[in-house]
Amino acid sequence: MPAEFSDYFDYDALEMPIHTVVEFQIQKATRLLRRRSMIPKHTLPLLTVGLFTALSFTAPARGQEGFCEELFARVNHTHFSELGTPFVHPFNFEPPQIHQDAFFIYRYTKNTIEGEHEHEAEAHLDWSLTKRLGFVIGVPLIGLEDATGTQAAGFGDLEIAPRVMLINQDKFILASNTFITVPTGDAGRDLGSGESVISPYVTTWHDLGNWNTLLVNFGPNIALESGDVSMSFDFSLTHSWLGPVLLEPDHDDEHGHQGDGHQLHFSPGMTTLYLELTSEYETTGEERTFAELMPGISYVLTEHAELRFGVLLPISRTQRFDSQYFTSFTWIH
């Protein structure tokens, strides 16, 4: 086995606890990439941004001849692929599909790394402008309580993201989601980061067949004032099926279909199981690694309403919190 591969695949790590394996392999993957390419530590994220920018120009030409024609075309609003696979939304990152939904999210985070319990209510809008262009905006309201009983509440950091769907195929979709975090929260009361952060992500969707999908999200997080940089790697594995209907529709199902029979909206009773991994590796400062695993479930009440619930659990040695509970109501356009 070549030295560069044996340096990465440490089979002795298989005997380590799961949190140690995850942290160890994320660190080695990032360090190996930097070492083998002879790239200085602080240059790697900038190179990554440049790579994503180049991808945004070259991917449409290679993967989708109709990109330019569809860039400003009217929205093709559907929640299913051409093969009939549902486009479900991950809990912890944006999918590559361009859609029109509003999320009302509540998160309870127990014992954060700052020693606080956190309540967060967020209004989150995903909106398509054309077949290929869209945006995301999220406005969080945060409440904190520390061990002494001291409380703080207020708006957190505003999050916005322009989105471009670069490749759209039957079983594969690729998009760029460039998140910009605006420091609107009060950093002095731990309600915000105190600086702007840009996160240019690349996100992919893979149809595995039988209503199983895999979504992958990765990219750097760059703090503009301090220069701190981290790399995010996220995965979501989903399985959907038609379950029992709790609320019978009061109108014909024809509103959820096109003339050719292709379904537009989720059917009431559609249920989805999620298994998500979120991870972040700090390339500056303490170079800590954080990783969490989330099992989750969603249920479609009506073709315009969905309920979701999940629990995020740390699996790395360094933990951002003890646990996080996620619930939301989704209005589906």
Q: Where are the domains of the chain?
A: 39-332
Report pLDDT digits (tens) over 107-129. Answer: 999 999 888 999 999 999 999 99
172: amino acid identity, one letter: F
Pairing relationship of beta strands 270-282 and 289-302 according to DSSP bridges? antiparallel
| Residue position matching structure tokens 């240059």 | 43
The structural architecture, per CATH, of the domain 39-332 is Beta Barrel (2.40)
Alpha-carbon distance 292 to 280, whole Å? 9
- Structure letter (DSSP) for residue 127: E
Report pLDDT digits (tens) over 238-281. Answer: 999 999 999 877 555 444 444 344 567 899 999 999 999 999 99
User: Would you mind telling me the total number of residues written for the chain in this entry?
Assistant: 333
Report pLDDT digits (tens) over 186-232. Answer: 999 989 999 999 999 999 999 999 999 999 999 999 999 999 999 99
> What backbone torsions phi and psi does residue 296 show, to the nearest 5 degrees?
-150, 170
Q: Provide the 10 A C-beta neighbour count for residue 67.
A: 19
